[in-house]
Structure 1
Amino acid sequence: MKKVTAFAPATVANVSCGFDILGFAVEEMGDKVTVSLADEPGVRVVRIEGDGGRLPYEVDKNTCGVALKAFLAAIDYKGGLEVELYKGLPLGSGMGSSAASSVAALEAANQLLGNPLDKKALLPFAMKAEGVACGAEHADNVAPSLLGGFVLIRSYHPLDVTKLHVPKGLYCALVHPHLELNTADSRSVLRQQVPLKDAITQSGNIAGLVAGLYQEDMGLISRSLQDVIAEPSRSVLIPGFDEIKSAIKEVGALGVGISGSGPTTFILAPSREVAERASEICQEVFDKIGLEVDLYVSAVNTKGTYVINKA
């Protein structure tokens, strides 16, 4: 093989109560990256498409480049790689755009070089790229994009990540308004101290959500999709959020939350039909606001990143 192309899916991070520790992957939407062997040592980004000319080609500023440099250093590879990035996700969308790029690059490079590491071992390199993209090496986007499904980050020091059960029939709707919300700005509005009563409530909701996933208890999942820490500060930055939150349960949706740092909103539903009806309600809300939105309905992607072409 001289080159490999991989796909990595979009993700929903935080999942309401799981700030920085929970995330899940979605289907179809994502980024593609082609990694090729090169004569010149090191990593070079040679093509970027779909970004409107905004992403940097400098290796130390590009998430693909940062992740691959760390990966090559870890396996002590002295050769060269060239990277082509094809963006399928909008920037600053709250759908794990930077994570999908770095994860696809790592999957392609790992396959190209003979799979020296398993998938989970690639996670720290993708986290380094997240540090460059948004100022924090969090894993709740990169882990589900890499591994698929729902993922829990139990600990960052040491890193301890595990996949969770995905109930049959669980769907999500993603509502992406046509505006950009910078992750660093969205993190800056968060409280630095949390009252004890809020910490207790949040802990109960996290435990309830995990239990609901394993028990396939949609009612428990619904009751647990409550965020008392990040959402109150962040929701004011997202037009239509309160209206959507009050309207979607009328059609049987389980709950609504902010995807990552926003502005995308996610809705969990017990079926595709409910997810589609919830997305229609969201369209009505944004039509009244006068803001264009993109709507996506998807099952939870349990596959994660994968190779789509080898040559």
Structure 2
Amino acid sequence: MNEIKLFAPGTIANLSCGFDILGLCLDNVGDEMIIRKSNQKGIRITKIVGADLPFETEKNVAGVAALAMLETIETGFGFEIEIYKNIKAGSGIGSSAASSAGAVFGINELLGRPFTNKELVQFAMQGEKLASGSAHADNVAPALLGGFTLVRSYEPLDIIKIKSPDEMFATVIHPQIELRTSDARSILKQNISLKSAIVQWGNVGGLIAGLYTNDYELIGRSLHDEIVEPLRSILIPAFDLVKKSAIENGALGVGISGSGPSIFALSKGKETAEKVAKVMCEVYDGINLPYEIHVSKINDEGIKVLNSN
């Protein structure tokens, strides 16, 4: 195999109560990438469509992730990467994670899979570090593994994949403003109260239990963020109204997707998810704010190979 074309999916991170540790993989939102072997050693970004991103390897998240991987394995050739961006930077649905995860996944395939998808997470995290200043895994893990993922530990890295309940759908609305992850992280408090921590721990445990037992009501009760959402929601136009409207129309829960400004809702069934999408759109239509809307089943596969040769 000398060339591979793949779909690098968008992701929703944090899932309200799981800051930096929980994420899920979307099914119909993502980038495409083409990666091919090259006689010239190293990593080169040769084409970027759909976004104004740096071609310099050390300044591009895909390049940085790929370099981190190649530092651990000897090859007699290099790689060229083409990136076709469909996820806007700063959207809150894992734009940098898609590029980072896609790069290491594709190279791993061309090398004959020397690493498991779970092992690839550590390399993809380096792309996230470039993008946000923090090597977090809550987006790259679901992109590589699919489904829901829990980062139990960062040192050492310990990630658990959780299969999505069959009827789970995500609705994501992206108001057309950019909110940089690094800026959204800068407003967070470094210390929290024990009372808030106890509430958050309970919700994380409840959400994981609900996913394993397909208990949609428990999932809904657990999608509550005591710590981050109160600070970040003020950066997102009409957040409270979008959340209220979605829940009143059947959403299990609503929260900030990643660092925002996208807002996600989880629902049982596609019909409810589409109804939730409609009322979310109505809120932003009412204040004349442009947006993109997505309704997606949870992607239990992760990155998908489109073709190879």
Aligned to 1:233: 231
* Structure 2: stretches of 5+ with no match in the other structure: none
The TM-score, its normalising length taken from structure 1, stands at 0.98
Amino acid at match of 2:106: A
Residue 166 of structure 1 deviates from its aligned partner by: 1.4
SS in 2 for 1:75: coil
SS in 2 for 1:140: coil
Task: Give 1:194-233 correspondences, 5 Å limit.
Answer: 194-233=192-231
Rounded to whole Å, the distance in 2 between the matches of 1:166 and 1:155 is 21
Residue 165 of structure 1 deviates from its aligned partner by: 3.1
Rounded to whole Å, the distance in 1 between the matches of 2:41 and 2:166 is 47
Alpha-carbon displacement from aligned partner over 1:262-297 (angstroms, at most 9, x marks no partner): 000000001111111111111111011110111111
Task: Give 1:104-183 correspondences, 5 Å limit.
Answer: 104-183=102-181
Aligned to 2:101: 103
Cα contact 2:33–2:82 (8 A) shared by 1: yes
Rounded to whole Å, the distance in 1 between the matches of 2:40 and 2:177 is 40
Cα contact 1:255–1:269 (8 A) shared by 2: yes
Residue 74 of structure 1 deviates from its aligned partner by: 1.0
Cα contact 1:72–1:78 (8 A) shared by 2: no
Residue 306 of structure 1 deviates from its aligned partner by: 2.1
Alpha-carbon displacement from aligned partner over 1:240-268 (angstroms, at most 9, x marks no partner): 11001112222221010000000000000
Amino acid at match of 2:23: G
Amino acid at match of 1:13: A
Aligned to 1:16: 16
Amino acid at match of 1:50: G
Amino acid at match of 1:240: A
Aligned to 2:92: 94
Rounded to whole Å, the distance in 2 between the matches of 1:145 and 1:96 is 9
Rounded to whole Å, the distance in 2 between the matches of 1:94 and 1:238 is 11
* Structure 1: stretches of 5+ with no match in the other structure: none
Residue 77 of structure 1 deviates from its aligned partner by: 2.0
Aligned to 2:3: 3
Rounded to whole Å, the distance in 1 between the matches of 2:186 and 2:23 is 21
Cα contact 2:4–2:307 (8 A) shared by 1: yes
SS in 2 for 1:60: helix
Judge which range, 246-255 or 228-237, deviates more.
246-255
Aligned to 1:58: 56
Identity in percent? 49
Match of 1:76 among 74, 77, 80: 74
Cα contact 2:43–2:79 (8 A) shared by 1: yes
Cα contact 1:41–1:81 (8 A) shared by 2: yes
SS in 1 for 2:71: helix
Please say if 1:37 is aligned against 2:71: no
Rounded to whole Å, the distance in 1 between the matches of 2:242 and 2:176 is 16
SS in 1 for 2:57: coil
Residue 64 of structure 1 deviates from its aligned partner by: 1.0
Residue 78 of structure 1 deviates from its aligned partner by: 4.1
Rounded to whole Å, the distance in 2 between the matches of 1:216 and 1:64 is 35
Rounded to whole Å, the distance in 1 between the matches of 2:204 and 2:163 is 14
Cα contact 2:163–2:300 (8 A) shared by 1: no
Cα contact 1:42–1:81 (8 A) shared by 2: yes
Rounded to whole Å, the distance in 2 between the matches of 1:2 and 1:259 is 36
